[in-house]
Amino acid sequence: MTNPKIVVLDFGSGNIHSVLNAFSQLGAEVELNADRSKSLAADGLVIPGVGAFATVMEQLGAVGAPSMVDQRLSSGKAVFGICVGLQVMFDKGYEHGVETEGLGQWPGEVTKLDSPTLPHIGWNDVSVPEGSRLFEGVAEEQFYFVHSYGAATFVLEDETPFEKPKVSWAQYGSRFVAAVENGPLTATQFHPEKSGKAGLTLLNNWLKNL
């Protein structure tokens, strides 16, 4: 695809400029907004996320993101979640003693990592499943993480309109979901936009497969 149109959802999350810069560097037509029609029409919708699960869900709800995500995915249009943008795809998040409903695209819960030192900040290996298109050419590379919570399990019903999800894992004290490729829904717990050449390659792989 030449010059894919990408919308980075503007819902109040931080860390936006590095995401915009990464896609611009890859030649995408990228813009930051929360306009519903543009978000639904774009070739790809990116949902970044920095902060607490509950806060991000409140912000997403304020701009109508849950129904945007549902509508895009039901019509097979790509959505990419980053960091808390991955976490909110699960049923629930438990953070700071608060239980919050997520977007419910995947069953499961996001909980505190079982590690003596938090947050998890820095570069980490990722265990990538065979046949991953997202990690093509960078399966052996490290990626940059900043988080204290994660999904410890990933179980999806066999009945799905898409091929079986490809789930990548990482370890920091406990094992957690590092990335998911699930039909039009892709998400990473790490920050590809802060992961150097490997991160740009990964984002470019996503763009190529829109």
CATH code where residue 37 lies: 3.40.50.880
- Total Cβ atoms within 10 A of residue 88: 28
Whether residue 85 has pLDDT greater than 90: yes
Catalytic residue check, 101: no
CA dihedral over 31, 33, 38, 43, signed as positive or negative: positive
Alpha carbons 10 and 61: distance in angstroms, whole number: 12
CA 109 to chain centre: 15
pLDDT per position as a tens digit, 33-46 = 999 999 999 999 99
What is the reported pLDDT for 155?
86
**Percent share of the chain, pLDDT over 90:** 89
What is the reported pLDDT for 15?
73
Domain that holds residue 184: 5-208
Catalytic residue check, 193: yes
Identify which of 179, 128, 176 has the alpha carbon closest to the alpha carbon of residue 152.
176
pLDDT band at 51 (very low <50, low <70, confident <90, very high): confident
What is the reported pLDDT for 73?
97
Total of domains in the chain: 1
Amino acid at 157: E
The strand pairing partners of 48, in sequence order, are: none
Catalytic residue check, 157: no
What is the reported pLDDT for 4?
97
Identify which of 22, 145, 161 has the alpha carbon closest to the alpha carbon of residue 86.
145
What is the reported pLDDT for 96?
81
Identify which of 14, 12, 7 has the alpha carbon closest to the alpha carbon of residue 36.
7
What is the reported pLDDT for 10?
96
Catalytic-role residue among 95, 120, 147, 191: 191
Q: How many residues does the chain have?
A: 210
Catalytic-role residue among 95, 141, 181, 193: 193
Catalytic-role residue among 83, 120, 141, 181: 83
9 close to 39: Cβ distance less than 8 angstroms: yes
Q: Give the tokens for residue 36.
A: 């519903």
Question: Mean pLDDT over residues 56-80, rounded?
Answer: 97
pLDDT per position as a tens digit, 91-136 = 999 988 889 999 999 999 999 999 999 999 999 999 999 999 999 9
Whether residue 159 has pLDDT greater than 70: no
